[in-house]
């Protein structure tokens, strides 16, 4: 049983959580998307994608099509109840996979729509002079875990250039990342894997660290993904067997991170 697996930890912490923090800082280091902006986006997502069951919870983020430009302020400048052009750009980046400077995907999947309620703390710092939880975690991983030779305390999150440095993560990923798809021995022993994942999981920095995009990729390369049920909430993405609707998506290894 694998619950909300953060199984590609050396990439999740750095290329996903770390890059999100970088994306949310302007040239002066100021935080771009704040709690107020997250609330605007979250409300708009629910209004757009609540689904069949009108309960304030997005029925299925995978089918939700939401463009953050829908909540852009007409002037392009920040105002109550809408987003500045810079905020819209960051939210678009967050929903997308992190990418290198040539547009190649660095990590499979961005923040899922419906996760906005979890952004504050995880991806948005309540103290803009400090990193978000995810950003702070990423910085510590980069200092002491991510590379074969630790750069140490003098290294900051903003020293990390994902386009240049992603390929340096592969060595330690072989130590930390539990991501083999070879389950033959397990299967021969009679094992049956089960995997669940909250579809609104923003990839927190705590023990709940996870990435639903990554889990869906993993399932799609090893088994099948069950069709999303209707009429319930808090549903998992689960591998249930041959009757599931197959989803295919190349996700491993990240193009720029392969060692
Ligand atoms: Ca709903």
Res. 193 pLDDT band, cuts 50 70 90: confident
pLDDT value for 80: 95
Cα–Cα distance measured from residue 117 to residue 184, given in angstroms and rounded to the nearest whole number:
39
Question: What's the pLDDT tens digit per position in 132-183?
Answer: 999 999 999 999 999 999 999 999 999 999 999 999 999 999 999 888 878 8
Q: Calculate how far, in angstroms, residue 59's C-alpha sits from the geometric centre of ligand 1.
A: 4
pLDDT value for 219: 54
Position 127 pLDDT exceeds 60: yes
Q: Calculate how far, in angstroms, residue 115's C-alpha sits from the geometric centre of ligand 1.
A: 13
8 Å CB contact between 225 and 122: no
Q: Calculate how far, in angstroms, residue 128's C-alpha sits from the geometric centre of ligand 1.
A: 32
pLDDT value for 207: 28
Q: Calculate how far, in angstroms, residue 253's C-alpha sits from the geometric centre of ligand 1.
A: 34
Q: Sign (positive/negative) of CA torsion 141, 155, 128, 41?
A: negative
Q: What is the pLDDT averaged over residues 192-205?
A: 72
8 Å CB contact between 135 and 11: no
pLDDT value for 179: 80
pLDDT value for 108: 80
Q: Calculate how far, in angstroms, residue 149's C-alpha sits from the geometric centre of ligand 1.
A: 47
Question: What's the pLDDT tens digit per position in 32-83?
Answer: 999 999 999 999 999 999 999 999 998 888 789 999 999 999 999 999 999 9
Res. 1 pLDDT band, cuts 50 70 90: confident
Torsions phi, psi for 109 (to 5 deg): 100, 140
Q: Calculate how far, in angstroms, residue 56's C-alpha sits from the geometric centre of ligand 1.
A: 5
pLDDT value for 60: 84
8 Å CB contact between 9 and 175: no
Question: What's the pLDDT tens digit per position in 204-253?
Answer: 432 223 455 556 555 545 544 444 444 433 333 333 333 333 334 444 34
Residue 231 Rama label (left phi>0; alpha psi -120 to 50; beta): left
* Global confidence as pTM: 0.79
Q: How far apart are the first and last CA of the chain?
A: 29
Cα–Cα distance measured from residue 121 to residue 132, given in angstroms and rounded to the nearest whole number:
6
Question: What's the pLDDT tens digit per position in 82-111?
Answer: 999 999 999 999 999 899 999 999 988 888
Q: Calculate how far, in angstroms, residue 47's C-alpha sits from the geometric centre of ligand 1.
A: 9
Q: Calculate how far, in angstroms, residue 232's C-alpha sits from the geometric centre of ligand 1.
A: 8
Q: Calculate how far, in angstroms, residue 63's C-alpha sits from the geometric centre of ligand 1.
A: 12
pLDDT value for 141: 98
Q: Calculate how far, in angstroms, residue 231's C-alpha sits from the geometric centre of ligand 1.
A: 8
Q: Calculate how far, in angstroms, residue 54's C-alpha sits from the geometric centre of ligand 1.
A: 5
Q: Calculate how far, in angstroms, residue 40's C-alpha sits from the geometric centre of ligand 1.
A: 18
Q: What is the pLDDT averaged over residues 109-124?
A: 91
Question: Which residue is associated with the tokens 């998307």?
Answer: 33
Question: How many CB atoms within 10 Å of residue 89?
Answer: 17
pLDDT value for 206: 28
Cα 167 vs. chain centroid, distance in angstroms?
19
Q: Calculate how far, in angstroms, residue 52's C-alpha sits from the geometric centre of ligand 1.
A: 6
Cα 78 vs. chain centroid, distance in angstroms?
25
Cα–Cα distance measured from residue 74 to residue 22, given in angstroms and rounded to the nearest whole number:
26
Q: Calculate how far, in angstroms, residue 60's C-alpha sits from the geometric centre of ligand 1.
A: 8
């Amino acid at each position: 049983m694998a619950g909300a697996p953060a199984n590609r930890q050396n990439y999740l912490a750095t290329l996903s959580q770390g890059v999100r923090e970088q994306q949310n800082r302007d040239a002066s280091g100021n935080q771009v998307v704040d709690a107020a902006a997250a609330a605007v986006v979250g409300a708009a997502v629910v209004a757009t994608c609540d689904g069949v069951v009108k309960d304030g919870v997005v029925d299925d983020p995978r089918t939700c099509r939401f463009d953050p430009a829908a909540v852009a302020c007409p002037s392009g400048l920040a105002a109550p109840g809408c987003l500045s052009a810079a905020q819209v750009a960051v939210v678009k980046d967050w929903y997308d996979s992190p990418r290198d400077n040539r547009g190649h995907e660095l990590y499979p999947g961005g923040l899922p729509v419906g996760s906005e309620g979890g952004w504050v703390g995880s991806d948005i710092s309540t103290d803009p002079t400090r990193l978000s939880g995810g950003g702070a975690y990423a910085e510590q991983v980069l200092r002491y875990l991510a590379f074969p030779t630790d750069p140490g305390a003098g290294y900051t999150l903003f020293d990390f250039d994902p386009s240049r440095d992603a390929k340096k993560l592969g060595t330690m990923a072989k130590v930390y990342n539990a991501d083999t798809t070879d389950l033959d021995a397990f299967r021969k022993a009679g094992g049956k894997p089960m995997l669940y994942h909250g579809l609104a999981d923003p990839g927190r920095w705590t023990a709940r660290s996870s990435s639903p995009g990554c889990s869906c990729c993993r399932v799609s390369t090893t088994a099948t993904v069950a069709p999303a049920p209707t009429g319930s909430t808090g549903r998992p993405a689960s591998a249930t067997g041959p009757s599931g609707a197959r989803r295919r998506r190349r996700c491993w290894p990240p193009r720029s991170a392969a060692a």
